[in-house]
C-alpha cells in the first residue's frame, strides 16, 4: 500500500532528516494532477507528499457542492486507490487551514480518518496543517495543542506555523503583513517545541522570508540561517534529539542554493504549487495555440474532435507537471531515495 501507514510516514520523515533531504509536497486538485504527482515520484524513485488545500478541496467537490472537506475526502480516497499501482510511498497532507476553517475543514477530515480506522484501515490523511499564524503565538499554541492531541490519538502528524508566509496563494493572503512577520525568531521556535513536543509528533513551518506565488529572481529575500539559529536554540536547551522537522513554504521559484541550504537545517518537506500549476497549464496553451482551428468551430466548421477532446491536452499537462515535480525531487535530493519495501 504505497500511501504510507503512520509508521511508514514517520520513517519517511526520519530518513529525510538523517539523510539531509526533503520531500516535495505538491498541491493537487483533480485526478489528473494526482496522476502527475504519482508519475513524478515513481519516475524519480522518490517518496513524496500529496496535499490538498481548502481551495483545492472546494474545487474538487464541484461547482454545485463547493465543500472543501468533501472534495478533500474525494481526492484522498482517489489517491489511496491510484497509489496502489506504484512502488514508492506517498503521504497525504492538507495545506493551510486557518482557525476560522478548523470546524468546517479539519474536523470533518479527522472524523473521516476516525471512521476509516474503526473500519480497520489507516487514517485518510497522514498529516494536517493548522495555520495559526493569523493569531497571537499564545493563541496559536493553545489551538495547536488541542489539535495535536486529537491528531496524535489517530496517529496523524500535525504541521504548525509560527511567523507567517507572505503573499497570496489559493485563498491564503497575507500580502499586507509587516515584513517582520515573515521571520520566525529562535524564541518562537523554542516556545513551539516546548509547548508541543510533550503531546505528540509535529512538523513545523518556521518562516524565514518565505512568500507564496511567482516572483522574479532576487525579489524574495530568504534568510535560511533563521532555521539554523532556531534549531540551535532548541537543541542547546533540550539536546540533539530535539532537532525539529521543518517545512519550507513558498518554495516555488526559490534559488537552488537557498533550497539546499535549508536541508542542512532540518527541512524535510517543501511545498510546491505555483511552479507545478504553470507546468500543468503551459502545454495546454501550446496545444490550443497550435490547434486553434481544430479546437474551435470557426466559421461554421466542425472542428477536430481529436484536438478538443480534453484528454488530448490533459495528458500533455500531466506529463509536463510530472517533469517539473521530478526537478523538485532532484533539487531536494529525494530522488532515488525511496524507502518503499524497507519499512
- Tell me which residues are annotated as active site: 95
* DSSP of 214-265: ---TTSS---THHHHHHHHHHHHHH-GGG---EEE-S-TT--HHHHHHHHHT
* C-alpha distance across the termini of the chain, in Å: 12
Kind plus residue range of the DSSP H or E element containing 25? strand 23-27
Count CB-CB contacts under 10 A for residue 116.
18
d(CA 220, CA 211): 7
Query: In degrees rounded to 5, what are phi and psi of residue 340?
Result: -55, 130
Q: What DSSP state is assigned to residue 5?
A: P
Residue 21 in grid coordinates: 533531504
Q: List all residues 6 or more positions away from 304 whose beta carbon is below 8 Å from its beta carbon.
A: 291, 293, 294, 295
Write phi, then psi, for 289 (nearest 5 degrees).
Answer: -65, -40
Query: Dihedral through CA 71, CA 74, CA 75, CA 76, nearest 10?
Result: 120
Beta bridge partners of 159: 129, 203
Q: In whole angstroms, give the CA distance from residue 300 to residue 320.
A: 33
| C-alpha–C-alpha distance, residues 119 and 342, integer Å | 26
25 phi, psi to nearest 5 deg: -115, 105
Amino acid at each position: 500500500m504505497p500511501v504510507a501507514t503512520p509508521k511508514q510516514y514517520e520513517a519517511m520523515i526520519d530518513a529525510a532528516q538523517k539523510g539531509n533531504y526533503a520531500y516535495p509536497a505538491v498541491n493537487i486538485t483533480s485526478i489528473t494532477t494526482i496522476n502527475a504527482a504519482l508519475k513524478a515520484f515513481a519516475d524519480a524513485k522518490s517518496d513524496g507528499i500529496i496535499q490538498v488545500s481548502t481551495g483545492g478541496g472546494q474545487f474538487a467537490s464541484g461547482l454545485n457542492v463547493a465543500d472543501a472537506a468533501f472534495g478533500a475526502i474525494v481526492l484522498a480516497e482517489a489517491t489511496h486507490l491510484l497509489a496502489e499501482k506504484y512502488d514508492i510511498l506517498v503521504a497525504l497532507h492538507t495545506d493551510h487551514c486557518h482557525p476560522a476553517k478548523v470546524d468546517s475543514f479539519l474536523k470533518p477530515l479527522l472524523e473521516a480518518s476516525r471512521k476509516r480506522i474503526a473500519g480497520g484501515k489507516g487514517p485518510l490523511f497522514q498529516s494536517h496543517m493548522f495555520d495559526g499564524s493569523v493569531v497571537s503565538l499564545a493563541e496559536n499554541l493553545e489551538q495547536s495543542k488541542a489539535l495535536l492531541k486529537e491528531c496524535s490519538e489517530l496517529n496523524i502528524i500535525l504541521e504548525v506555523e509560527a511567523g507567517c508566509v507572505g503573499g497570496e496563494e489559493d485563498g491564503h493572503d497575507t500580502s499586507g503583513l509587516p515584513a517582520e512577520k515573515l521571520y520566525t525568531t529562535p524564541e518562537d521556535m523554542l516556545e513551539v517545541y516546548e509547548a508541543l513536543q510533550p503531546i505528540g509528533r509535529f512538523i513545523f513551518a518556521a518562516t524565514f522570508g518565505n512568500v507564496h506565488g511567482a516572483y522574479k529572481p532576487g525579489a524574495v529575500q530568504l534568510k535560511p540561517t533563521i532555521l539554523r539559529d532556531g534549531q540551535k536554540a532548541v537543541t542547546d536547551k533540550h539536546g540533539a534529539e530535539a532537532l525539529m522537522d521543518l517545512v519550507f513554504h513558498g518554495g516555488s521559484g526559490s534559488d537552488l542554493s537557498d533550497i539546499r541550504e535549508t536541508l542542512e537545517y532540518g527541512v524535510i518537506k517543501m511545498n510546491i504549487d505555483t511552479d507545478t500549476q504553470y507546468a500543468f497549464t503551459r502545454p495546454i496553451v501550446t496545444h490550443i495555440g497550435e490547434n486553434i482551428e481544430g479546437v474551435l468551430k470557426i466559421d461554421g466548421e466542425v472542428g477536430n474532435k481529436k484536438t478538443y477532446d480534453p484528454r488530448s491536452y490533459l495528458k500533455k499537462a500531466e506529463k509536463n507537471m510530472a517533469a517539473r515535480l521530478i526537478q523538485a525531487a532532484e533539487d531536494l535530493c529525494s530522488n532515488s531515495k525511496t524507502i518503499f519495501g524497507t519499512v
